[in-house]
Structure 1
Amino acid sequence: MSTAVRPSAFTEPDRPKNLQIRFMTTGGSFVDVTGHGEHFDNNSWNCLGCGDASRSPERDGLWRIRPDANTHATACRAIPLK
């Protein structure tokens, strides 16, 4: 019997303003990358499962935030609680 969480078991939350990318975590939650896009340095990520977020620097270019958000989504096993 498989204990893996199926992504279809959870409903996608509303999309925030300035959503650039949304990654699904291993646990079935989501990591949102928000900001003004590729040519701006005000992008950040936030995990809707465990609550972790981008840091140091808090906001950065999309090219720098994207891999960090994807790495977190790959490792995070928190499930959505709402």
Structure 2
Amino acid sequence: MSTAALRVSAFTEPERPRNLQIRYINLAGAAVDVTGGGEHAQDNRWTCRGCKDSSDCPKADWLWRIREAASTHAATCRAIPLT
């Protein structure tokens, strides 16, 4: 069994927000959630449940932009979920 599988399985999945579009898992198993109105909405944002970082301009980002930023953050963040 790989180390990554052990890390991810060590935590339970947090509750899903009502408007969850995409969920990524960071390097330590914390969820990076993309929420908002969807592909053609400008209210999309991402939030990391590990380090608590989030998108800078949620009112100016389409889903395709937020998806790329959330994926990049999840691929580099090592903060563990604290809740």
Q: Note whether the superposition's TM-score is higher than 0.5.
A: yes
Aligned partner of 1:53 in structure 2 is: 54
1:10 aligns to what?
Answer: 11
Q: For 2:58, give the aligned amino acid.
A: E
Moved over 2 A (4+): 2-5
Name the structure where helix makes up a greater proportion of residues: 2
Alignment RMSD, CA only?
Answer: 1.6
> What is the CA distance between 1:3 and its match in structure 2?
6.9
Structure 1: which 5+ runs fail to align? none
Q: Give unmatched runs, 5+ long, in structure 2.
A: none
- Give the SS at the match of 1:50: coil
User: 1:3-53: per-residue Cα shift (whole Å, max 9, x none)?
Assistant: 765210000000001000000000110100000100111100000000000
**1:6 counterpart SS class:** helix
Give % identity. Answer: 61
- TM-score, with length taken from structure 1: 0.90
**Does the 8 Å CA contact 2:42/2:58 hold for their aligned counterparts?**
no
State the distance in 2 between where 1:19 and 1:3 align: 28
Residues matched between the structures, number: 80
Once the 2 structures are TM-superposed, how far is the Cα of residue 58 of structure 1 from its aligned partner?
Answer: 2.6
* Residue 83 of structure 2 corresponds to residue 72 of structure 1: no
